Each structure stands twice: as structure tokens, then as C-alpha cells.
Chains A and B, each alone.
Chain A
Amino acid sequence: MDMAFIIETIVKIVVILLVFSALAGLGTYFERKVLAFMQRRLGPMHVGPFGLLQVAADGVKLFTKEDIIPQNVVKPIFKIAPVITAATAFMAAAAIPFWPEFSVFGYKVHPIVADVNIGILYVLGVMAIGLYGPLLGGMASANKFSLISAARSAAVFISYEVISGLSLLAPLMMVGSLSLIDINNYQAGGIGNWIVWSQPVAFILFWIAAFAETGRTPFHLIANDHEIIDGFGTEYSGMRWGLFFIGEYANMFFISFVIAIIFLGGFGDGSIAGAFQLLLKVSFFFFFFLWTRAAWPDVRPDQLMWLCWKVLMPLAVVNVVITGLVMMF
């Protein structure tokens, strides 16, 4: 392995870490502003212009707050749980192509940390480990609300993994590759080639499963404030609690990238216009996460399970079978 490759990879990792932790912080600001405007409020206004420095103020608060470890918790597990959520969110980013290739001073840069052949499997698998964070935090907390939250996160995990996997199967059968770059290049011909036109059912199913995997509002049961306080986060304080949030927001960004690359053409043919289109698509999906939070109530746990096993899973299976039949004949 030559030195240039190692240095390049380290630089890429640092850039992705910095950019997305900053974006995760800004994501909370966007969320508060969007929710506020939809509810005819102003949101954060007082710190900095348009309340933009509120993010910094929150950061200072989280970093300087005392890190309380309650007496009866299982200490090592309790301490490591938030780290799992944050770390796996960023590890999943390793196989996502954020931008087409470009050259700086004649040096070609591939904006992807590890171009593995099984990119999408890797991303989904590592994101799935992220759900261990809420689960372990909830189980180690010695708190009944946290335990309920942990049970719910296990249930959501086991159910919605099935949906996201099965719904992705149909587009992957069409492309014939698990690499996100190959999937992107399959749709490089322009808007007519996007997989969303040939696989609308898979698109909707994966989008719904994305809400469950990130724990966003219609499926926000694992930390449902009005029933179980803050769920797995009840006993946490300071930066450990903040790590859960960084993980959640980073996951929202990364899953938006994955949806945009698989179903909506990604960065297209690799031109500058295509690259900016990808950012636009990602912002739309991120905005949609916030929009649903303002517009929809949470579903009940039994409705969540009913939706998963009686509606979405049969639909996904039928979609896979039909795709297979169409491809064979």
C-alpha cells in the first residue's frame, strides 16, 4: 500500500467526520426552524443572526454539562451505548459516494472512503448495528421507561430490517451489482433512467423503512416523549445524550444519500450539475423527515407491527417476485 493512498484516505475520513458532525448540529437548527414555521412560531431567534449560533450555544451546554452515571446502571454498557450510535452512523458513511470524481491540481479524487463491491450491504449492515445504541442504553439504564424503549427498538429493528432488505432486492436485481457507484452509473442516462420509475413500490417501501431505521416521527416510538419520557435517553445527560443525537441526525443525512443514489439517479453522469442535483435531492429527503414530524402523529406500536408484517412485507415480496418474472421473460 503506498503512502499517498493512506494519507488520502485519512484526509477523506477527517473531512467526512467534520462536515457531517457540523451538519448534524445544524440539522437540529433546521429541524427547530422548520417545525417552528409550520406551527406559526419563530423558533430560535436570540443567539446570533436568525438564531444560527443557537447550535454553538447548545454545543457548549452539552459539552460542559456534568456527565451523570446513575448508581444502579450497568456502567460499561451504559457508557458505550451512545458511542455505538454515533460511531456506526459515521462508519456507514465509508461506502457512500458523496460526490462524483473530480480533480484538484491534476490529482484525481474519489469522494468515497472505501469503494467496496458490496457498498449497499455494508451501509445497511452498519446502520443496523446503530440500533444497538438505543437497545443497550435502554437495557442498561435500570429504568422502566428505558426498558420499554429498548424492547420497542428491538421490535422495530427486527421488523423493519426485513422491509428495507426485501424492498432493495428488486432494484438490485435490475442493476446486478451491490456497489453504490454501479447503481448510480446504471441511472446515468438522465431522469428517464431513474430506478424510481421502474420500481415505485420499492422506492416507497424503502422510504418508509428509512423512517423506522432512523427512528423518525411516524415511527418515533423508541423515544416517544409523551408516553415513555425520553425512552433510552432518560438517564443520560451531557455529551453522552448528545452523541445519540449526533448519530440520529448523521443517520438521517446518510440514509437520504442512500435513497437519492439508489432510486433518484444519484449524481447522474458525474458533471458538476449532477453533483449539485444530488445535494438538492438529499436536502429534499432531509426536509421531508422534518415535514412529516410536523404533519403526522406517531403510530401505536401494534399499528407499527401490523403495517410492517401485514402490509409492507407482502408488498415487498410480491414486488420481488414480479420483478423476477419480468426480468426472466
Chain B
Amino acid sequence: MFEAIAFYLFAALTIGMFTITVMTSQALYALTAMAAGMIFISAFFFILGADFLGAIQIIVYTGAVMALYAFGMMFFDTTRSVIEKRNNPRFVVVLGALAAVLIVLIVLAPIVTTNLNSQHPIDLNVGNTQAIGMVLFTKYLVPFELAAVMLLVAMIAGIVLAGKKMDKSLTLMADEEIALMQASSHDRTEEEGEH
């Protein structure tokens, strides 16, 4: 009984939160509702007995949404509503609803008649964390390694893109040095413009 109550409660909460995320025009509401929705999703993992995945869901998505907040802070005045340009709202609603229905059909149509069996059922003798580790490092080793390599590539690219002038610290420089640096970079961009 508790499981059913918890499931319907968190299902309603999650759907409500993501609805706010999509519908609101206020950046802060959208971000906060999304963070809350992501955390509510972890409840489903806990209900299913996948404690490890639930905790990881919380940890990963709080960090990820936190980065989104940082972007929000940089690009918007988050205390004001964002004025969106809507040329044809009815068109957008119809297309959006159609896309949602189509996705449900595409995912559910092949499996609607079959009886689902889990490929890796929970083994009560092995802990949750160990079970995930075993599946991850045997059956799904290649996707796991691929994801790791991709993240490494992204990290190196990020460092290279952001790493120019990393050896200089604006805080430690005197004001004249900063002015000199700005002047020289200004000259350089002008020269590049002439070429």
C-alpha cells in the first residue's frame, strides 16, 4: 500500500514540476521546478529498490541543474519574466501534443502485448552497488568505456577553449598592467581585422 501511495504521489509531483518547467516564462521558476522534478524522479528508483541509482540520480542532477542556474544567472535577470516571441501559439501546442503522442506510441507499440521480464533481476544475495558494478563492468563494458572517453575528450576540449591566459590572474595584476594588456589585445584584434 505504501508503495502505491508513494508511486502516485511522486508521479503527480514529477509531472507537475516538469509542467511548470515547460509552461512558465520565469527562468527561476523553470530551473527550480526542474531541480525538484529531477529529485522527485529519484523516488521511483528508491521504490524499485535501486538505492544506488536513486542516490546517484540526486547527486548528478543537483550538480547538473546547478550549472544551469549559473547559465541562467549569466544570461537573464532571473527576477523578471522572459518575454517570449510567440507567432502562432496554437500551431506550437498542436505540434507539441502530436510529438508527445507519437513518442508514446513509438516506445509502447512494440511491447504493448508482450509480458515484460527483467534481463538482470535483483539478486538478493548481492548488494545493490555490487550488482550495478558487475553489470557495468561485464555486459556494458564497451559503452561504459566509450562514455568515459567521450567525457575525457569534452574535458580536454573545455580546458583548451577556456584555458587561454590562464597563467595570468587579474586579481594579482596592478591596474596599469591590466590596462596595458587590454590595449595590446585591442591592437591585435584590429590588426586581425585588417588582414
Contact = CB atoms under 8 A, between A and B. Distances in A.
B69 interface: yes
Interface in B127-157: 127-129
Given A1-B2, A117-B128, A124 B28 contact: no
A151 B129 contact: no
B59 A300 contact: no
A177 B127 contact: yes
A300 B29 contact: no
Nearest to B60: A125
Contacts of A147: 73
Contact of A151 (B32, B55, B73): B73
Nearest to B53: A118
B29 to A, nearest CB: 7
Interface string A1-29: 10000000000000000000000000000
Interface residues of B, number: 28
Interface in A104-140: 116-118, 121-122, 124-126, 128-129, 131-132, 135-136, 139-140
Given A125-B55, A128-B62, A139-B69, A118 B128 contact: yes
A73 interface: yes
B22 interface: no
A157 B58 CA distance: 14
A182 to B, nearest CB: 10
B113 interface: no
B52 A126 contact: no
A116 B67 CA distance: 29
A161 B55 CA distance: 14
B32 A77 contact: yes
B51 A116 contact: yes
Interface in B74-118: 78-79
Interface centre among A139, A155, A161, A165 (most CB of B within 10 A): A139
Given A1-B2, A74-B26, A158-B67, A117 B62 contact: no
Given A117-B127, A139-B28, A125 B62 contact: yes
Contacts of A154: 66-67, 69-70, 73
B58 A126 contact: yes
A157 B51 contact: no
A300 B171 CA distance: 9
Interface string A54-85: 00000000000000000011101100000000
A132 B62 CA distance: 9
Contacts of A116: 51
A118 B26 contact: no
A77 B28 CA distance: 8
Contacts of A155: 70
B53 to A, nearest CB: 9
A185 to B, nearest CB: 15
A121 B52 contact: yes
A73 B77 CA distance: 12
Contact of B63 (A1, A76, A157, A177): A157
Given A1-B2, A161-B63, A118 B129 contact: yes
Interface of A: 1, 72-74, 76-77, 116-118, 121-122, 124-126, 128-129, 131-132, 135-136, 139-140, 142, 147, 150-151, 154-155, 157-158, 161, 165, 177-178, 300, 302
Given A1-B2, A74-B79, A139-B72, 16 more contacts: A74-B26, A77-B29, A122-B51, A128-B58, A128-B63, A131-B66, A132-B35, A139-B28, A139-B79, A140-B78, A150-B69, A150-B73, A154-B69, A154-B70, A157-B63, A161-B59
